[in-house]
């Protein structure tokens, strides 16, 4: 006999879950995600399920299963270990014609739940012929290939054949992460694989671009031959123009698009031009660079705040928006991006503003890449130490006691 695969629309339909342990905890979120009206019957609940009940996301009957629990129910998930209790649910479900998923014994079930992976509009559901591990292996293999673009998801099919002007494309500002190509988000990677045009910054991981199929137009924003201001306008123009030809344009930016990445300007340029635009946040170097150097930007009992600041202008510069003397009075963590060139004057300003000379400072260059290097020092010595070590941009400077928070030795 063959199984008949099916996708269920559960929105607003009651699904009964019998049991409140780890199996139920794993099954309930997908039911809620599908909009099901979940009723949980169990004397006990895990803290996670309790949280969902408190938040009003599902109904709970705090007792053992009774056949009337199946009233109005479209589907039942049996998530108990006890085969006798589970068989009781099956026995009550069958005459009521309610499909019954059994976590304890799939041979007694009338419905099986597949291993699932979702990629944009595509849902892949794999049933392993009774071997859940096989299903997970196949699911992961397919999921991997969908994520890296080697199985293309393709354009959404438009219901009406279009004539006349090309349909409008879109621009997506995607954070590429700090350098390690694995530190892009799952969503960012999928959209990159679907792009027709990729406009990439200097700091985006080269390996991500390596993976792009040959049909993709790759524009290196760092090579635009104008001054910085004109180059930004040129980038904005490219984004808008390409989207207007119907292309899906991914604007790939180092770290997070909105952390000193001029993402906001590009978004506004698209909005002004009537081009659909969205943003996919990224892992920012301001948190990731300290992290991979063994520095948590906050730590219990050490720092209750972290401030991220650009050091591209020296303290006191006419155009600077940073109040360095106010930063010097903070007790928490200070993370300075683009601050290497001005490090001597930045350190001076922080010392002048009252931050202690012995305050620990770390500098992390090319964090999360194979070329990562760095040093730790103090506020009074760091400028000289960086010069001696020959550290270069891109680098993140971390000021504060968190620098030593995870160091067990006192050195």
Nearer to ligand SAH, 179 or 188 (CB): 179
Give me the DSSP letters along 63-114: S---GGGGTTEEEEEE--S-HHHHHHHHHHHHHHT-EEEESS-GGG-SB-PP
Give me the DSSP letters along 211-266: TS-TTSEEEEGGG--S-HHHHHHHHHHHHHHHHHTT-EEEEEESB-TTSSS-HHHH
In whole angstroms, how close is the CB of 407 to ligand SAH at the nearest point? 20
Map the footprint of ligand SAH across residues 257-296, applying CB under 6 A: 259-261, 284-286, 289
Residue from 183, 256, 297, 314 touching ligand SAH (CB under 6 A): that is 256
Q: What is the DSSP letter of 338?
A: S
Nearer to ligand SAH, 34 or 375 (CB): 375
Contacts with ligand SAH by CB under 6 A: the residue count is 26
Kindly give, in sequence order, each residue whose CB lies less than 8 Å from that of residue 14, ignoring residues fewer than 6 positions away.
36, 37, 38, 39, 72, 73, 74
Q: Does 341 qualify as catalytic in the annotation? A: no
Check 37, 69, 104, 201 and give the catalytic one: 201
Nearer to ligand SAH, 109 or 259 (CB): 259
Cis peptide bond prior to 206, omega within 30° of 0: no
Nearer to ligand SAH, 53 or 291 (CB): 291
Q: What is the DSSP letter of 163?
A: -
Q: What is the DSSP letter of 43?
A: S
Q: Does 201 qualify as catalytic in the annotation? A: yes
Mask of contacts with ligand SAH, 357-376, x by CB under 6 A? -------xxxxxx-------
Please, what sign has the CA dihedral across residues 276, 180, 217, 221? positive
Residue from 154, 276, 356, 393 touching ligand SAH (CB under 6 A): that is 393
Nearer to ligand SAH, 94 or 182 (CB): 182
CA geometry: angle at 153 spanning 147 and 156, to 5°? 140
Say whether residue 90 binds ligand SAH (CB under 6 A). no
Phi, psi torsion values for 401, nearest 5 degrees: -65, -20
Say whether residue 255 binds ligand SAH (CB under 6 A). yes
Say whether residue 398 binds ligand SAH (CB under 6 A). no
Residue from 17, 200, 395, 403 touching ligand SAH (CB under 6 A): that is 395
Residue from 143, 169, 178, 181 touching ligand SAH (CB under 6 A): that is 178
- What is the C-alpha R_g of the chain? 28
Nearer to ligand SAH, 52 or 383 (CB): 383
Burial of 277 (0-12, 13-18, 19+ CB in 10 A): buried
Say whether residue 337 binds ligand SAH (CB under 6 A). yes
Residues found near ligand SAH in the complex (CB under 6 A): 178-179, 203, 253-256, 259-261, 284-286, 289, 337-338, 364-369, 393-396
Which residues are part of the catalytic machinery? 201, 223
């Amino acid at each position: 006999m063959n199984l008949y695969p099916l996708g269920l629309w559960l929105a607003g339909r009651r699904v009964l879950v019998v049991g409140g342990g780890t199996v139920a905890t794993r099954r309930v979120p997908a039911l809620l995600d599908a909009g099901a009206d979940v009723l949980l019957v169990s004397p006990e609940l895990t803290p996670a399920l309790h949280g969902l009940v408190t938040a009003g996301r599902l109904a709970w009957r705090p007792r053992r299963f009774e056949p009337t629990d199946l009233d109005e129910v479209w589907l039942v998930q049996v998530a108990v270990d006890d085969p006798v209790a589970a068989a009781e649910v099956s026995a009550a479900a069958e005459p009521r014609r309610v499909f019954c998923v059994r976590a304890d014994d799939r041979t007694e079930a009338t419905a099986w739940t597949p291993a699932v992976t979702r990629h944009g509009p595509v849902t892949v559901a794999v049933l392993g012929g009774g071997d859940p591990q096989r299903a997970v292996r196949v699911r992961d293999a397919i999921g991997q290939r969908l994520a890296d673009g080697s199985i293309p998801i393709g354009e959404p099919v438009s219901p009406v054949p279009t004539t006349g002007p090309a349909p409008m494309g879109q621009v997506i500002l995607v954070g590429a992460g700090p350098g390690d190509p694995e530190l892009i988000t799952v969503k960012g990677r999928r959209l990159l694989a679907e792009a027709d045009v990729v406009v990439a910054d200097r700091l985006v991981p080269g390996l991500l671009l390596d993976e792009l199929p040959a049909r993709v137009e790759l524009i290196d924003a760092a090579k635009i031959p104008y001054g910085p201001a004109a180059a930004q306008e040129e980038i904005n123009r490219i984004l808008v123009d390409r989207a207007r030809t119907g292309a899906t344009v991914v604007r790939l930016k180092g770290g997070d698009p909105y952390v000193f990445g001029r993402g906001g300007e590009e978004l506004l340029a698209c909005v002004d031009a009537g081009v659909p635009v969205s943003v996919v946040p990224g892992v920012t170097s301001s948190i990731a660079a300290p992290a991979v150097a063994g520095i948590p930007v906050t730590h219990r009992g050490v720092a209750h705040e972290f401030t991220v600041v650009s050091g591209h202008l020296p303290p006191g510069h006419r155009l600077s928006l940073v109040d360095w003397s106010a930063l010097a009075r903070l007790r928490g963590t200070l993370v300075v991006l683009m601050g290497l060139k001005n490090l001597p004057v930045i350190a001076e300003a922080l010392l002048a503003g009252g931050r202690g000379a012995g305050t620990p400072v770390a500098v992390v260059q090319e964090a999360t890449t194979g070329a990562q290097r760095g040093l730790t020092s103090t506020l009074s010595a760091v400028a000289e130490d960086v010069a001696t070590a020959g550290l270069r941009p891109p680098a993140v400077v971390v000021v504060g006691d968190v620098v030593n928070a995870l160091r067990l030795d006192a050195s």
